[in-house]
């Protein structure tokens, strides 16, 4: 009976925590110089529609002795020049929490980037 009494508030709380984990914001850095790599054909319907964009959504694990890491941008079909024009990173509460509970060993990386035209 007691459990039933708390079921609904617990579910609401769980839902709110879930929402909190997903709560996020993005920051976009754009170079004022350089021409972005064009997309062909245009398939997206967001800010990146004109551009060839690379999306990265992963978790990087680093060792206890590692202070930080660099994610290296390489020349690929989507990024022939290997040079950055636009970078958008997304922060979520969940990603922050993941880093906190793993003492910084696991770092969620969610970024979009567009390279300079070759």
Partner 1 sequence: MAKTTKLTLTEWDTLHNNGPFPLKLLYKTKLESPALMPSDLDRYNDAAQEIQSLITEAKNKNEGFRAYGSAWSMSKIAHQKERMHFNAHMNTYFSFRNQDLHALSGYQAENLFLFQCGNVVKEISEKLAGHGKSLKASGASNGQTIAGCISTGVHGSAINVGSVQDYVVGLNLIIGPNPGDIVYLERHSKPALNDVFVQKLRSRVIRNDGLFNAALVGLGSFGFIHGVVIEAQNLFLLKRYVKELKKDKAIELAQQQNFKTFDGIPEEVKGNGEANIPYHFKVFVNQYKDNGKYVVEFMYKKPYKLNYPDPFPVIKKSLYRDLINLVVQIGSGIPASIPVFINLLKNSILPTVDEVSTGTLAETFWDAPYQGPAFAISFGVSHTDAEKALKILSKVSIDEGPVPGIFAMRFIKKSDATLSFARFPTTCMIEIDGVRWNEKKNLITLNDLSKKMIEALQQANIPFTLHWGKNADWKFSGLVDHMYGADATTWRKYRCSLLSGDMQTLFSNAFLKEVKLDKKEPSDPQLIQSLL
Residues that bind partner 1 (CB under 8 A): 30, 32-35, 38, 40-42, 45-50, 80, 117-118
Nearer to partner 1, 45 or 68 (CB): 45
How many contiguous H segments (helices) and E segments (strands) does the chain have?
A: 2, 4
Beta strands in the chain (DSSP E): 24-30, 53-61, 84-92, 106-115
Nearer to partner 1, 37 or 95 (CB): 37
Please choose, from the candidates 69, 80, 91, 70, the residue with its C-alpha nearest in 3D space to the C-alpha of residue 115: 80
For residue 17, which phi and psi values (nearest 5 degrees)? -65, -40
Tell me the closest approach of the beta carbon of residue 76 to partner 1, in angstroms: 13
Tell me the closest approach of the beta carbon of residue 46 to partner 1, in angstroms: 8
Tell me the closest approach of the beta carbon of residue 20 to partner 1, in angstroms: 22
């Amino acid at each position: 009976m007691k459990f039933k009494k708390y079921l609904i508030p617990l579910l609401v709380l769980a839902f709110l925590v879930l929402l909190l984990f997903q709560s996020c914001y993005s920051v976009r850095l754009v170079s004022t110089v350089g021409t972005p790599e064009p997309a062909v054909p245009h398939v997206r319907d967001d800010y990146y529609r004109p551009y060839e964009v690379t999306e990265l959504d992963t978790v990087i694990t680093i060792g206890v002795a590692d202070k930080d890491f660099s994610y290296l941008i390489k020349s690929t079909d989507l990024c022939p020049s290997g040079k950055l024009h636009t970078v958008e990173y997304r922060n979520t509460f969940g990603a922050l929490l993941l880093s906190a509970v793993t003492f910084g060993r696991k770092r969620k990386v969610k970024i979009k980037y567009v390279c300079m035209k070759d």
